[in-house]
Structure 1
Amino acid sequence: MRNIRSTFAAIILVLLLSVVVLQWGRLSAIHTWFPMTAPENRHFLTMSTNEITRETNLKISLLENNSVDSQDAIDNIRYALRYAKIPFEEVDKEDLNSLEPDPFHVLVVAGEHTSEWPYESIEAFVNKGGRLMVALRHGGSDPKWNDLTGIEETNDFVSDTVHGLTIEKPVFPGYNDLSGEHKLLSHSVLDVELSKSAVVYLTVKHIPVMWTYPHGKGKVGFWNTTVTKEKGMRGLLLQSLSLLPPSFVMHQSGIKVTYLDDFPSPIKDEFVHGEGMGYGAFLKDVWWDRIKKLQKDYNLSLTGAFIGTYQDKTDLNTEELIKRQKYPMLYYGRQLENSGGEIALHGYNHQPLVVKEDNHPLYRKKEFNPYLLSVEVGPTHFYNPYGYKIWKSESFIKRTLKDTNQLFQYYFPKEKIQTYVPPSNILGKRGLDALLESIPSLNVLASLYFGEKEDESFIQEYEFDHKYSDLYHFPRTASGHGDSPEDLFLITDAIANQGVFSHFIHPDDRTDPERAQGRNWEEMSEGLEGMYQFISKNFPYLESLTQQEAREKMITYQQSKIDVRYQEDSITISGEDMLDPSVALVRIQPGKHLETGEFSFGEVEVMQASSGLYIVTLRKPSVTLLLKEDVS
């Protein structure tokens, strides 16, 4: 009897082992995910026969000095890393002697201060496997640094500023070449000759601008330019960092917002030359029909930004505003809302909310023009090229904004104004105070993402206001009809960093000579559709949202906690309060790849095969991606 029981137990054991072997075979044919309930359970099965290395996080160390160039370039990288949810640390030059070399440890430096850097420590760090990114070119005068960065010979600085950019090797989809005629990027560069082992990604006038170079067991990235100080380079900076470690994960919010600025608005009494009709007929029968077709074809969620009047004067009361806005609010506003869109505020009129006490730079330009005199709006000695007038008091602003809010409530009693778009992207501090006091339901301020800090425009980051805790800054990244190379470059860079596309379309672009640039509506319409085709083709994972939906998603994304662990043959992503679904861009260096397709955790797609870039859509809070060896 005992022998029978032993034999039966042996049979059961063989069957169980068979099931395990079959299951192992099934798992090794696919990517899989393993729930991780606690940090101690992070060990997981891997389908590689290679030796499993220790699990590690990506570590990025930032070093800057007190030069403006260094600080601006490193600050851009800080923002790029925060937006992509990649942790980093600040280091001092004294810390460089104790850096731990690791393929997943990147040291980032910038600026012409190589004499302050301990060369021997940095060289040893790279030689033993660490990664180095020079994020803004140094002088190249010390040959030992040239040996580390792949420079064979330096022929001093190029005497003139050079413009443009040429993509020699793909870094991220969507970036286009900029010729020297395009002034978006202005470089100060070294005329260099590189080692044959250097891989050049970007050039300007045949001069290498960004390259990578293997050194010992490590790798170096070098930006031979000062253009990394510009905000419109954050996406390229992030993507260049991703070229250095064996693998690199960047998270994205995945947001697409389309604004209709000055809409709904009073109908202008003007003739649209070249189209053979008045502005009202053009808006209704041509422009609006085209926008609705774009909305349908590209699944757009629309956010309109209305104004009460185009008049500069402030003597229209609530009843008069309601009467004048009856047709646009009922016809356009209700269509907008019924199609799933929303309506934001652009202002009582198109005058920026600025009072004398703001001392705003735009209003310091004392260009006398007697035709711009206006008793209602205040002091007549403040003038500017745009003809804007300064408000004479905050109380005036509050009164007109309350009238505008009552106008909105009359036509949309179940809704409330939550987003404000400042006219011409100009806003004073006291104007903002008056705005929030008059309309306390406001929780989004939407101005500009790109621009100079010292400019008169209101430039923003994606963040909560430092004074008003519930007010979120959600700037736009583009406007117009998206058909210039500079527009597409900046659109791509914002997406390459954090996956955001926020675009403003103006109904009166056709009637504005500067914005129309001699084009008829058909040509402008083709450019607009071309831009949305570009977005749909290159970045299909962006989700069309209204501004309020985008606010909610962005805040959730920024407040989520995401942890990425790297091993030789796998990447483990886990997190708390993540978006569902969550989007990650994963770059894998040559020699390995991710399998693509639909899996239990989500989906893996090739984003750019030539650069090892993948889109990973996660529908689980934890996933292990297995890295497969390339078959030669």
Structure 2
Amino acid sequence: MNKEVRFTRNVYVILIAILVLAGIIQIARSEYVLKFKQNSDLLEQRDILLTAAKKEDKSFITGAPYCILYSSGYEYSRLMKNNAQKMLQYMQKPVHEVDINNEAFDPKGCQTVVIALETLPDSLDVDSLVDYVHNGGYVFVMSALEANHQYQLLYRKLGVTSFGDPFLTTGIKLTSNVLIGESNLVMKDDFIANSSNAVELDSSAQLLAETNEGTPLLWKHEYGQGAFMMFNGTMLTEKINRGIIAGAISLLEPDFIYPVFNSKLFYIDDFPSPIKKGIEPAIYEAYQRDIPTFFKDIWWPDMLKAAKNYGVKYTTGLIQTYHDEVEPPFQYPIDEDRYGLITFGREVIKSGGEIGLHGYNHQSLQTSKKIADYYGYNPWGDRTNMERSIKEVIDFTSRSFPSYKLMSYIPPSNVLGPEGRQALKAAWPDLTVISSLYNEDTEGRAYVQEFEIADDGVLEMPRVTSGYFERAYDRWAEANTVTSHGFFSHFFHPDDVLDKERSNFLTWKELYEQYTQNLNRLQRTYPWLRAVTSTDGALDMGRTLISSVNWKKDKNSIAGEIHNFQGHDLYYILRTDRKITKQVNCTVKKIDTHTFLVTAHQSKFAIGLGG
């Protein structure tokens, strides 16, 4: 055959192959392929979970109760009691409340005694409490105590050698890993404030935390065969500090184990959404791009790179329009950006993330004019219009992703009224999880959540921290929530970059550097946390919540039998100073000093202990 002809044919073959490959790549990137991206299996998992939730039976949890002493006549005592009770419920421990005003208390039969009082009343038999600890019991005192005659009988057993008047203390330094992974953490900010007693400790007391000025704040003192844990402050009424409660109890008792969610979540609110047109001078000077091109060419590639480098999956909250209409018609607003939804949404999914819903627009689903005025929003007139807007944004999404199910909702400005909550459920059958805020809102505007399965079947899974850069309050909230729940949940907005105050007057380069530094610290401190999306994390949370474990301990092992086990791994934190000798139907991984993550693979599992 002529060499020239053979060469020409080979060239054509190569060109055809290149064209075919280019066509395949183009098809793979086209809207057509989006039709084949499905996540309906998550809806099936949700329905299985909700069916199993009806079989939840906490009576399966056996063992002696955790007895909480409190005084119903004092709000401070009630708040402490409520906080301890909620934490113990999450830890799946049986709880028995004792109102010291109305009933006598005998510590016999209690696994641990939690004292949610600031004054030990005359009715409390201190001698019986001392005998209880001496014979192997455990007592956690949640508050600095008034130095009355009852305290005079007890203080030496608490590990105190001398004491003085109470005074205001600020900040905290952890001299232990009472918060997992955070030994030596120092918080100097004034949001940590206590009324503490001036005390000196016995050399046998184990100091776990102190104030910035060096006043002992948390310590453990062994007495006889048992031990006291003492918190010398007044901040354990607050939800943000539940990690201290969990850490203190888990370090008080030997070989303590409790369930956690083991999840790490990142939310991007207002994304995908219509992007503001025009030029931001600082951005144009740095990148020679207008605002939409900056987000497409710089911000989003940076965010994807950070996710890949540090093990992050994004859950985004899309918005169809920024118009503020709360009256129909809602269809086809002039600023909707279907191309942006397809372009960014495809990459969210491709990176392992999830597209969730923030709203048709950014008007929070609530009817209070007072709350709307605070945010500069319009209040909705009725539930019907809310439902219409929700259906429209779901239709808008389905036109671009026909087989993709929206399942996660993020309330705009973390505000959601009861009518809005009802509208979501009525208009959106696939709604699976709502993620708003965990920490208290003293103004009463935010939709504040606990981790729970609501009566209507929606999974309530709050978020904890926010922003591209670290704030002291967020760092403290993070450390407490990881210790109490094995849970990290963080959110931010693309346009934080454009707001001088929300960006802390930093450039995107500086913000991104701080963001990646925080991701690096998070990965170093909690490498065991699993990166998950909102719906996946909520389903795992639900499986943990509906389960319960019957624990059996002997001198060489801990055995667990899980009720309502759904065939998915469940996770537990084990605090022990003993060696792990065997792992039966579970995996045990050291995550900190004397702290382990236990992954149960079957309903019955066991951990061997030695040394």
TM band (smaller chain) = 0.7 to 0.9
- Matching residue of 2:96: 89
1:170-197 per-residue CA deviation (whole Å, 9 max, x = no partner) reads 32334363443x1332212111122222
Aligned partner of residue 435 in structure 1, secondary structure: helix
Matches within 5 A, 1:224-239: 224-239=232-247
What is the TM-score of this pair, normalised by structure 1?
0.80
Cα shift at 1:607:
2.0
- CA change 1:345–1:514 in 2 (3 A) is same
Partner of 1:571: 558
Contact 2:468/2:512 (CA < 8 Å) preserved in 1?
Answer: yes
Question: Does 1:536 find its partner at 2:523?
Answer: yes
Shift of 1:131: 0.7
Partner of 2:165: 156
Q: Does 1:289 align with 2:308?
A: no
Give the alignment's Cα RMSD to 1 decimal: 2.4
- The alignment status of 1:304 with 2:316, answered yes or no, reads yes
Give the aligned residue type for 2:338: K
- How many Å separate the matches in 2 of 1:557 and 1:390? 37
Paired residues for 1:383-422 under 5 Å = 383-384=373-374, 386-422=375-411
Residues 391-447 of structure 1: CA distance to partner in whole angstroms, max 9, x if unpaired? 233333233223222212222222333222111111111222223223233222110
Is this contact kept in 1: 2:65–2:109, CA < 8 A? Answer: no
TM-fit CA distance, 1:284: 0.8
**Identity of aligned pairs, percent?**
27
Contact kept? 2:450, 2:460, Cα under 8 Å: yes
How far apart, CA to CA, are the structure 1 residues paired with 2:279 and 2:70? 56
Q: How does 1:465-484 map to 2 (within 5 A)?
A: 465-466=454-455, 469-484=456-471
Mapped to 2, the partners of 1:437 and 1:228 lie a distance apart of 39
CA contact (8 A) 1:57 1:565 kept: no
2:254 touches 2:576 (CA, 8 Å); kept in 1?
yes
The answer on 1:587 being equivalent to 2:575 is yes
User: Contact 1:227–1:233 at 8 Å: present in 2 too?
Assistant: yes
Deviation at residue 95 of structure 1 after TM alignment: 5.4
SS at 1:627 equivalent: strand
Q: Residue 424 of structure 1 is aligned with which of 384, 396, 413?
A: 413
What code does the residue aligned with 2:333 have?
Answer: L
Determine which of 291, 313, 319 is the counterpart of 2:325.
Answer: 313
Are 1:120 and 2:127 an aligned pair?
yes
5+ residue gaps, structure 1, are 1-55, 364-382
Match of residue 445, structure 2, among 447, 453, 456: 456
Contact 2:319 2:360 in 1 (8 A): yes
In structure 2, C-alpha distance between the alignment counterparts of 1:273 and 1:144, rounded to whole Å: 69
After TM superposition, give the deviation of residue 319 of structure 1 in Å: 4.7
Map 1:212-611 onto structure 2 (within 5 A): 212-276=220-284, 277-314=289-326, 317=329, 319-321=331-333, 324-356=336-368, 362=371, 383-384=373-374, 386-452=375-441, 454-466=443-455, 469-578=456-565, 580-589=568-577, 592-595=578-581, 599=583, 601-609=585-593
Once residues 478 and 258 of structure 1 are traced to their aligned partners in structure 2, the CA distance between those partners, rounded to angstroms, is: 10
Q: Which one-letter code corresponds to 1:118 in the other structure?
A: D
2:326/2:380 contact within 8 Å kept: no
What TM-score does the superposition give when structure 2 sets the normalisation length? Answer: 0.82
After superposition, give the CA deviation of every residue in 1:80-116 in whole Å (9 maximum; x if it has no partner): 2222333333335445325147xxx211011223014
Decide whether aligned partners of structure 1 residues 458 and 183 sit closer, same or farther in structure 2, where only a CA change above 3 A counts: farther
Q: Which amino acid aligns with 2:440?
A: G
Unaligned runs of 5+ in 2: 1-61
The answer as to whether partners of 2:193 and 2:235 remain within 8 angstroms in 1 is: yes
Q: CA deviation at 1:463?
A: 0.9
Equivalent residues of 1:168, 1:202 under 8 A apart: yes
Which residue does 1:189 correspond to in 2? 196
Which residue of structure 2 lines up, in the alignment, with residue 173 of structure 1? Answer: 180
The DSSP-based 3-state class of the residue aligned with 1:313 is coil
Which residue of 1 is the match for residue 608 of structure 2? 626
Shift in Å at residue 564 of structure 1? 1.7
Rate the CA distance shift 1:534–1:79 in 2: closer, same or farther, 3 A: farther
In 2, the alpha carbon distance for the partners of 1:141 and 1:540 equals 47
Q: Distance in 1 between matches of 2:472 and 2:334?
A: 42
Cα separation, partners in 2 of 1:278 and 1:184, compared to 1, 3 Å: farther
Q: Match of 1:608, as an amino acid?
A: D
Q: Over residues 229-252 of structure 1, what are the superposed CA-to-partner deviations in whole Å (9 max), with x where a residue is unaligned?
A: 111111121111112222211221
Once residues 98 and 86 of structure 1 are traced to their aligned partners in structure 2, the CA distance between those partners, rounded to angstroms, is 17
C-alpha separation in 2, matches of 1:190 and 1:437: 54
Contact residue 110 and residue 137 of structure 1 kept, 8 A: no
2:132 & 2:603 partners in 1: Cα distance? 35
Asked if 2 retains the 8 angstrom alpha-carbon contact of 1:256 and 1:543, the reply is: yes
Task: Write the distance in 2 (CA, Å) between the matches of 1:473 and 1:309.
Answer: 26
Q: Aligned partners of 1:315 and 1:249: how far apart in 2?
A: 52
Q: How far apart are 1:75 and its partner, in Å? A: 1.7
Cα distance in 1 between the residues matched to 2:610 and 2:420 = 57
Letter of the structure 1 residue corresponding to residue 139 of structure 2? L
Matched-pair contact (CA < 8 Å) for 1:96–1:122: no
Q: Take 2:361 and 2:351, find their aligned partners in 1: how far apart are those partners?
A: 26
- What is the count of residue pairs matched by the alignment? 537
CA distance in 2, matches of 1:188, 1:132: 21
Identify which of 131, 135, 156 aligns with 2:142: 135
Q: Is the 8 A contact 1:249 1:564 kept in 2?
A: no
